[in-house]
Copies of this chain bind each other. A is one copy, B any other.
Amino acid sequence: MDTIAQEIKTALHEMGRNALIASRVLANLKPEAKNNILNKMADAIDAMSAEIIKANAKDLDAGNKAGLSVAMLDRLRLDEKRVREMSDGLRYVAGLNDPVGRVLSEIERPNGLKIKKISVPLGVIGIIYESRPNVTVDAAGLCLKAGNAVILRGGSEAFNSNMILAKCMNEAGVAAGLPDGAVQLVPYTDRQAISVLLKMDDYISLIIPRGGEGLIRTVVEQSTIPVIKHYKGVCHIYIDAESDLTAALSIVENAKIQRPSACNALETLLVDAKALPKFIEPFLQSMEKHGVELRADERFRKLAPNVKLASEADYYEEYLDLILAVKVVDSIDEAIAHINQYGSKHSDCIVTTNPEHVEKFMAEVDSATVYHNASTRFTDGSEFGMGAEIGISTDKLHARGPMGLEELTSYKYLIFGSGQSRE
């Protein structure tokens, strides 16, 4: 390891130690103390709005020179409104219920031992993310509210924006009683910093990567710390033979068109062959009107020869765009098999009026969220009543689906005895 790598490693381990120490203080802060800190951070961000936008301009300038795409530059951009959204986000989180100290169960054993299971913070959470600087504030706010220290590692393209946001939160936070080390931004844009971070399992309890599939695969490959993530959202709607086709079309439109760049947007439509003849005309008209490019199988193209042919790869694709893969199926079994094979275990929906089919689809589709007669776009912490969300998990361990504040906690067992020994 060269000198610079060693220097990064030493500095990151120091950050880890400090975060762990801070997390032990944070874990026992009262809700009001945490909420006060969050509100003070929000005020500081508002007060520094002009400086934040100035720092962001440097990032935009560098991004322009580096030839970032228009979409990436837009994700990177902060203006007064977006700064205000971040500070308001912190205030909103301050107002949510505290997820720490909930009594999850309480039993008394025949030997008189009282065993209480209560929610506690996870400890230190590492967030690894790409270009959006708002993640710096949103993630820090949620982690702190749940009593966790946080180590943030943002993308190099947002470096100046992230640095000033973290500094701002830290100064205001510490002045309001936040322990030093509770919010730290990794000041190294080097990829090596990520590799070091991912082995710091003595300090960090959980890594949440947010970004493209490539970043997330790198994180999973290297991490010795538990990771919660979703690689992508290849979401399906299956239109059953027996279904209200007007409702079906409206759900498809919402799931595909309302925000195609979201992970819970529709990517593949499965249509039962028996529903197709009546469905196809209004569907084609709507998709054309909304500028959606279709990629369909041969059976669909028999009725719509102008539609592009879908390749095998199309059914694995998360387009995040106004493109929709379409496949004709002969049964609910074929639809379920397709979803379990090609899907990403994220959000999948059946449109049907047949109650047995609802039950079968819900039981057999192996996804985090399974819908009957509603748009997949509802997979979201706020829409699920969690207040806010730090991400969506397609894993099965710890948290599945939208992750809110409760999912940022662990638990511990408190056992109260009166001298009991085991026999």
**Number of residues from A at the complex interface, CB < 8 A:** 65
The minimal Cβ–Cβ distance linking A197 to chain B, given in whole angstroms, is 16
* Cβ-defined contact, B412 with A251, below 8 A: no
A368 contacts across to B, CB distance below 8 A:
412-413
Residue from A247, A368, A374 whose CB has the most chain B CB atoms within 10 Å:
A374
Question: If A340-B24, A374-B420, A419-B244 touch, does A397 touch B206 (CB 8 Å cutoff)?
Answer: yes
Interface centre among A362, A364, A415 (most CB of B within 10 A): A415
Instruction: Please determine whether A398 and B398 come into contact, CB atoms closer than 8 angstroms.
Output: yes
Majority-rule SS of A interface residues? mixed
In the assembly, what is the distance between CA of A160 and CA of B66, in Å? Answer: 62
18 A–B contacts from the bound complex (CB under 8 Å): A109-B385, A115-B384, A115-B385, A201-B220, A226-B398, A228-B397, A247-B419, A255-B421, A358-B416, A367-B412, A372-B415, A374-B418, A375-B421, A375-B422, A378-B415, A378-B420, A384-B413, A401-B412
- Across the interface, which residues of B come within 8 angstroms of A24, CB to CB? 340, 364, 366
Interface assignment of A232: CB less than 8 Å from any CB of chain B: no
Integer count of this chain's copies in the complex = 2
Complex contacts, A102 vs chain B, CB 8 Å: none
**Contacting pair B113 A415 (CB below 8 A):** no
CB pair B221 A221 closer than 8 Å: no
Report whether B366 and A123 are in contact in the complex, using a CB–CB cutoff of 8 Å.
Answer: yes
Binding site for B on A (CB under 8 A): 24, 27-28, 107, 109, 113, 115, 122-123, 201, 205-206, 220-221, 224, 226-228, 244, 247, 250-251, 253-255, 258, 340, 358, 362-364, 366-375, 377-378, 383-385, 395-398, 400-401, 410-422
Contacts of A375 in B (CB 8 A): 417, 420-422
Residues of B within 8 A of A377 (CB): 421-422
* Distance in angstroms between the alpha carbons of A298 and B178 in the assembled complex: 38
Contacts A205-B397, A220-B201, A401-B412; is A373 near B421 (CB within 8 Å)? no
Q: How far is the CA of A401 from the CA of B373 in the complex (A)?
A: 40
Alpha-carbon gap, A123 to B412, bound state (A): 26
A363–B368 Cα distance when bound, in Å, is 33
**A226 (CB) vs chain B CBs: closest residue:** B397
Question: Which one of B228, B374, B400, B422 contacts A254 once the chains associate, using CB atoms below 8 Å?
Answer: B422
